[in-house]
Structure 1
Amino acid sequence: MAERKKSGLDPRITNREFKLLLNPEGLDRRIKIVQLQSLIVSFCQKSKVNFFHLDNANTGLRNVYFFDTPGEHFRRNNLILRVRESRQNVWVDDWCEVTLKCRTPKLKSSLKFDPKPNATHKHRLRLKEEILRADHVGSSRRIYSNNSIMDAVPIDKVFERTIGGITKYFPDLTRLALEDDLPVRVVGGKTNKVLEACLPIGNLSFGDGVQAHCDIGIWMRSVGDPIIGELAYSYRVTDANRDDLKAHRRADKFFEQLQLAISDWLATGTTKTALIYGIPE
């Protein structure tokens, strides 16, 4: 916790996200998700963490893919350029979400690039502390993600597939000093696009001002072909709860002990993005 101040979280942090990779086998079956939900609820009761069910929660579907240069200049500079296309059943929406993030193990390094877009699209800026499983079950490590998220971008006009086209949206990328005509492509090719199913399962309460949203995400090559799952919970960090160390530490402890309770469900690895690149993050 070297990045954390004694008085509370770093004042620049806006979100905390806890993520556990799940073995993909059987995650396309509803009964498996119900079983996992039951284990989580049981563990919450044991841990005296209040769990609030979400009534009539629907599974959301979206396409997820990443862009980079042929030489992976983004990855080598700790940058991630991601597009999410929402779906309604078989239909892809006309709008998508575009995210640029600088993600590193050190908070200071994550601030190296300014992801703020130069565009009229509505956008959100987030500086996230992401808590992941470390080397063994019951452990944790942190990475920091400096994000800009653009909403409602016309899907047919995301950007030109060149560095020049992308820097029109994200001008600070000019500091990479790459040629404007350098091509940018979908990482792994168009067949490497992922179908993501996301099911909200409930809210966790670690304190009066720390309420976390919990969901299960499943990445698939196609329906019925899961490649990885993720159990995650996250919450906003505000001036009101930033110094509530008791609640933040309770969320940390819950994360490490939850791994022991669902150890048979866990997959090894770093992040879902690392699977796409085929290189640990």
Structure 2
Amino acid sequence: MQDVHYREYKILLRPEQFYAPKRFEDYWSELKTIAKKMGVGVTTNDNAFFRQVREVLFYDTPDFELYKNSFILRKRTFYDNGWPRPEHELAVKFRSPDKERAAAMDMAPRMVGAVEVKFKEEILPLKDKIGEMRSLYSHNCIVISPNVILSQGVKDIASVFPAMASVDSDGDSQIDLVNNMAVEEIQVDPGHFDFGHGFEAKATIAIWRNRASENSLVGEFAFQAKFHHYDDIHAKAKKLSEDFFCAAQTLAPEWVQLGTTKTAMVYGFGDRKVEHNE
């Protein structure tokens, strides 16, 4: 079993709040006020509101067998000055509220190249109430490759990512774009927070839009800390980070979107309701 090396705190944001580019700065200003009120250190980056553009695509079987079995298959393309980079980011994730189940999943792929495996704890608000928190554990494999083809069957995908062999499927189901939706992600990296005792976290603010309709889907505020051992996090720093996370909801409720995750939003835009434990 792997130890958690990342703790990422995520809050969904109302898409209607992002009606102009300046709204990234407006929200960051509110967050800085809340942080100072809570005794959290804040640093704003140079070029904090440079807007990065990415295309995000999710793939699954027609019956969403991957997602129903807690897997996420995502391709992300980064753009520089309006042009896509030649290499893509392929992410395979297994997410569960059960830490031991998520940690025990072997996410290593059968391939060579730039591969990174991460095990993180995601801190999320409750699905129907602001001001509180819950944990979801995410075991991720990130692959950087110029050749990403996602039109095969589950059997072909599982030959590269053996963890997916556990999916309840005949193996012949084809992989296709979820709900035929391409997402445009606009993200800024405004700064970072200091919770004391060496516990710091980088912040991001993002908005997701449907590329076809140009409608905004959902926003997200997140901050992530990286560490060598979970037990090394100082109790006071951990408590302060959690208090700030809850305060960011209760002290700026007009920004908060109740729900689960950005991925769940994309899956939920189809004709069928998808049951999942996110």
| Partner Cα distance (1:42, 1:96) in 2 | 37
| Partner Cα distance (2:157, 2:243) in 1 | 41
Verify: 1:24 aligned to 2:15, yes or no.
yes
Listed as ranges, the matches of 1:38-187 within 5 Å are: 38-57=29-48, 58-111=50-103, 113-134=105-126, 135-151=128-144, 153-154=145-146, 156-176=147-167, 178-187=169-178
Structure 1: where are the runs of 5+ without partners? Answer: 1-9
Code of the residue aligned with 1:149 in structure 2: it is I
Which deviations, in whole Å up to 9, do the C-alpha atoms of 1:83-122 show, x marking residues without a partner?
A: 1111124322221111111101110222353221111121
Task: Normalising by structure 1, report the TM-score.
Answer: 0.89
For residue 164 of structure 1, report the CA deviation from its aligned partner: 2.7
How many residues align structurally? 268
Task: Name 2:259's counterpart in structure 1.
Answer: 269
More deviation in 97-106 or 171-180? Answer: 171-180
User: Is the partner of 1:181 in helix, strand or coil?
Assistant: coil
Q: 1:247 aligns with which of 213, 237, 241?
A: 237
Which deviations, in whole Å up to 9, do the C-alpha atoms of 1:114-163 show, x marking residues without a partner?
A: 22111112111111111111132211111111111112x11x43345212
For residue 231 of structure 1, report the CA deviation from its aligned partner: 0.5
For residue 11 of structure 1, report the CA deviation from its aligned partner: 7.1
Task: Name 2:271's counterpart in structure 1.
Answer: none
- Contact 2:150/2:176, CA 8 A, preserved across alignment: no
Code of the residue aligned with 2:205 in structure 1: it is I
- Contact 2:2/2:104, CA 8 A, preserved across alignment: no
More deviation in 197-206 or 21-30? Answer: 21-30
More deviation in 248-257 or 161-170? Answer: 161-170
- Contact 1:102/1:110, CA 8 A, preserved across alignment: yes
- Contact 1:159/1:165, CA 8 A, preserved across alignment: no
Q: Identity over the aligned pairs, expressed in percent?
A: 29
For residue 277 of structure 1, report the CA deviation from its aligned partner: 1.0
Q: 1:238 aligns with which of 228, 238, 244?
A: 228
The change in CA–CA distance for 1:275 and 1:26 in structure 2 (over 3 A counts) is same
The change in CA–CA distance for 1:175 and 1:136 in structure 2 (over 3 A counts) is closer
Code of the residue aligned with 2:196 in structure 1: it is G
Code of the residue aligned with 1:236 in structure 2: it is K
- Contact 1:28/1:224, CA 8 A, preserved across alignment: no
For residue 179 of structure 1, report the CA deviation from its aligned partner: 3.6
Verify: 1:219 aligned to 2:208, yes or no.
yes
Code of the residue aligned with 2:266 in structure 1: it is I
Structure 2: where are the runs of 5+ without partners? Answer: 269-273
Task: Normalising by structure 2, report the TM-score.
Answer: 0.90
- Contact 2:8/2:225, CA 8 A, preserved across alignment: yes
Code of the residue aligned with 2:267 in structure 1: it is Y
- Contact 1:210/1:241, CA 8 A, preserved across alignment: no
Code of the residue aligned with 1:218 in structure 2: it is I
